Structure 1
Amino acid sequence: MDARYDIRADPAQGMIHIRMGGFFSEADVQSFAASYRAELRHVAHPGQLTLVDIRDMKIQAQDIVAAFGAVMASPDIRSRKLAFLCGSTLARLQAQRLTDRDGVAFFDDMAAAEAWLLA
């Protein structure tokens, strides 16, 4: 698999920035979840804001989408607001399957995503 991710806390904004790319396995999802939890120590949570840039993500298998959905819905990770930066319609549709809760939005512009999170 060619999964890659970068997770960075922004304590001043109470935000987590995530950049993801490639194709993930179940082990990659678990590694991502552990890294995400580690970065959460640097921001006040619950209630953090999360920006996820998935413009470099490949379309994932359904079991991987379900695994990411479970991670992002986990009470110790769940964000107050979650913005996805999507590069394609297919990526947006797949990300929309992760969650159907309030406080989630999808963008194709970084500035718009950040403005929505901070509003």
Structure 2
Amino acid sequence: MPPTTQSRSAISYVVMDGDELSAPLFTAWCAQRAEAEGLIVTEVITDPDSLTPPAERPGWGRVMALAACGGTAMVITVNRRMIAADPREWADLAEQLADAGTALTTMAVPAAHKSTEQKNGVTA
């Protein structure tokens, strides 16, 4: 089920992997993406380690619980590796969220960093 037009909230989901200093920057990028979609980030959820399977992460559990309650249009993360290293796992998790009416996406590369990142071959 696609997000409804009445669902105007988004969740920012960030996995820190020992880089807590980047949290404000990562969450700001996710908020920019939400704003571009006409959404407001209503909750920022973090987990400490991307090596832990998503189903075992407390933060990801909260993401899934909020999506199940309805009213969340989108979950935004910095990149797919924060959630799943395997594209099939990402697709499975995206499908689970879609069943609850929530889209799973990565942030768009902020315009201020786009030219540098494109030169380095980095994409969101």
TM-score category of the 2 structures, normalised to the smaller one:
0.3 to 0.5
Name the one with the larger strand percent. 1
Name the one with the larger helix percent. 2
**Higher RCO (C-alpha under 8 Å, 6+ residues apart):** 2
State the TM-score, normalizing by the size of structure 2: 0.36
Q: Decide which structure has the larger Cα Rg and report it.
A: 2
